[in-house]
Amino acid sequence: MKTSLPLLLSATALLAACSWFVPQPDSDLVERVHKAIPDGTPLEAAEETLHRMNFNCARRRGSYTDEAGTNHDDAYFSECTELPTSKISLSCSNRNQVILVPNSQSLVRSVSVIRSPYCGS
């Protein structure tokens, strides 16, 4: 059976790309975020804190997955994605994300720090 070089190279590239998707954020980052944004922090102040930590936040309604891996549907939250630190960035890359879930008074009631593939602008 003859293996073609292009197929072998494609498979190697795919495996290398998958290794970029580290499933967990750095534990130091998780600790820093949780210290900086305790429950009860006003949502706007939490977003400003994350902005200073090189995250871009956008409020939305939809689904998200928390730190424990639990999926939440039809929730209102702020999704904050870490900005790339280099000028060269892949269109899809693995990035740290922080999910801020507010209560009815716009105070943070839940903070989740996750790492997942991000293919945004």
pTM: 0.75
pLDDT digits (tens, 9 = 90+) for 60-118: 999 988 888 899 998 999 999 998 776 555 567 778 999 999 999 999 999 999 987 77
Q: Residue 64: exposed, middle, or buried by beta-carbon count in 10 A (0-12, 13-18, 19+)?
A: middle
**Domain boundaries along the sequence of the chain:** 25-85+94-116
Q: Would you call 110 exposed, middle or buried from its count of C-beta atoms within 10 A (0-12, 13-18, 19+)?
A: middle
Report the mean per-residue pLDDT for the chain: 82
Q: Which string of DSSP letters, residue by residue, matches 8-75?
A: HHHHHHHHHHHHT--SS--HHHHHHHHHHS-TT-BHHHHHHHHHHTTEEEEEEEEEEE-TTS-EEEEE
